[in-house]
Structure 1
């Protein structure tokens, strides 16, 4: 019974984290048709920025729940600044080009940003454990469970709901849906497509930075953390269907629980569990669970 509870708790936590990591990637692809390899670098920048901001916060003698406000502001500011700089400075000049070229451009950008983080923050590890330890533990069926992990689950759910409301209720979100349906007709009807692209890329970058920010208190922030993330994010969105936000949620749940089951029942297969699920899904549905051939969804 304890093992089942552990699988459920670990699967829930990891699924929430995977959704936060992947949702920005699938949003950008759904609207802009760009498979953004630099997403992993944005995640890493968010984590480093969080470590720096919290270091200043605690270094000034402050403590308490104000750290979470600092984390939220760090994700928003970092994502908007980096996202708009990349979109306006690089990607805007390449719209309409072949998708393979865009992949190569974002891959090159990923390598550049990886080296830039080393130049800015060095190669030493950063530790900001205080927010993770702030709420302590609770007892779930006889197992101690970190409350911070529940907070991450809540953030993932809130993020998914906020995106759904944005896309279905907000005017700007409905304009995004129109651009997804047909970019050329949207432009002909007077929609400012470059502006929609800029907003979309900024939101996607904020989401990547948010994933890095919420992860920073749980890990050692060190060079290379963005590499694994982009691979996992790609696996999740492929399982769910590229460009589908519900698909990203379902893909995160499937991948998260597959990993949890493998960790507790067959640890030797942990590294392969998510990719095995991806291979099985693609063998059955080559375009993912929520995507059909030739469709663009969000």
Structure 2
């Protein structure tokens, strides 16, 4: 029984780490810009494809395997942080005065366009990069063998959470972000360059999506359409935790990951529904999510 519980916890924590990495960029962008970025899934896929290309070249030139993780990290961040600000500057910056539903539709259209762009660049054949996944070896719990790559994903999720919390709570840039989150107009009147904050926030959010895609790529096949499932699951996590709330996303990811692992081990036929069941249950009692941000009432 103890071994079985340990296996459930390992599976749940591993999936929770992935959910957090996949969703944290989405909640950051919404918290600052009040945009539900449907194109988030395309930036996740972009990170995965860039990782596949980088690892292909890495293996072809017989470069040190240990440094491949650094290459994945840097390439994914650069890809997201280059493409994201370009999208914000040339498309989204002209839409902020429009209704939120209109911006949602624009990001959905952008998602469709980017999906086709990815197909034009990388084609429709799947890519497989197993080297980073296999290089770290395995560990055993309860007679079951698990890849140490799970620990890398968990450490990355924890590191991302700590860094974002530190930036938001302890740095001047974080204080500016919090100011813009609470009142965009007053922040602009006080001399804060809201436009600059927006482009940096969108770039960081897209870079985080690319980072999640890059480190997920060694665990699965990189194929067209992989961003669709990600945006659906990310949205479920963000809504459950509270739109724009970093602690909310972390808690929602942990709850959903462990509940899903329990279902896979004991009630596998419910695995497809469990995440959305958790979301529905939470929203039934807390319609704004577990940690919804307080909003000032304007009179």
TM-score by length of 1: 0.97
Determine if contact 2:16/2:256 at 8 Å carries over to the other structure.
yes
Q: Is the 8 A contact 2:45 2:210 kept in 1?
A: yes
- Contact in 1 for aligned 2:244/2:293 (Cα 8 Å): no
Does the aligned pair in 1 maintain the 2:237–2:253 contact within 8 Å? yes
- For 1:279 and 1:168, the matched residues in 2 are separated by 31
What does residue 127 of structure 1 align with?
128
Q: Say whether 1:49 aligns with 2:55.
A: no
Query: Do structure 1's residue 244 and structure 2's residue 231 form an aligned pair?
Result: no
Q: Tell me if the contact between 1:287 and 1:293 (Cα under 8 Å) persists in the aligned partners.
A: no
CA distance in 2, matches of 1:86, 1:295: 30
Tell me which stretches of 4 or more aligned residues in structure 1 moved more than 4 Å.
Answer: 292-296
SS of residue in 2 equivalent to 1:139: strand
Distance 1:295 1:233, change over 3 A: farther
User: How far did residue 171 of structure 1 move?
Assistant: 1.0
Tell me the equivalent position of 1:231: 232
Q: Counterpart of 1:144 in 2: which secondary structure? A: strand
Question: Within 5 Å, which residues of 2 pair with 1:1-298?
Answer: 1=1, 2-291=3-292, 294=295
Post-superposition offset of 1:93: 1.1
Give the secondary structure class of the aligned counterpart of 1:190.
coil
Q: Residues 236 and 275 of structure 2 are in contact (CA less than 8 Å); yes or no, is this contact kept in structure 1? A: yes
Question: Aligned partners of 1:224 and 1:6: how far apart in 2?
Answer: 30
SS in 1 for 2:140: strand
> Is the 2:243–2:293 contact (alpha carbons within 8 Å) kept by the matching residues of 1?
no
CA contact (8 A) 2:22 2:230 kept: yes
CA shift in 2, pair 1:28/1:294, >3 Å = same
Cα deviation for residue 153 of structure 1 reads: 0.3
**Structure 2 CA distance for partners of 1:295 and 1:284, relative to 1, 3 Å:** farther
Deviation per residue, 1:130-164 (Å, 9 max, x gap): 00001110122432121000110000000000000
Distance 1:151 1:17 in 2: 11
**In structure 2, what is the Cα distance between the partners aligned to 1:150 and 1:61?**
25
Separation in structure 1 between the aligned mates of residue 225 and residue 291 of structure 2, nearest angstrom: 31
Pick which of 32-41 and 71-80 moved more: 71-80
After TM superposition, give the deviation of residue 294 of structure 1 in Å. Answer: 4.4
Q: How far apart are 1:295 and its partner, in Å?
A: 6.1
**TM superposition shift of 1:96:** 2.0
Gaps of 5+ in 2: none
- Listed one character per residue, the Cα deviations across residues 174-228 of structure 1 (whole Å, up to 9, x for unaligned) are 1000001111110011000000000100110010000001100000000110000
C-alpha RMSD of matched pairs (Å): 1.2
Contact 1:79 1:207 in 2 (8 A): yes
Alpha-carbon contact 2:138-2:145 (below 8 Å) kept: yes
Provide TM-score, normalisation by structure 2: 0.97
**Which sits farther off after the overlay, 1-10 or 272-281?**
1-10
Instruction: State the distance in 2 between where 1:258 and 1:266 align.
Output: 11
Distance 1:158 1:173, change over 3 A: same
C-alpha distance in 2 between matches for 1:295 and 1:7? 41
Matches of 1:141 and 1:168 in 2, distance apart?
Answer: 40
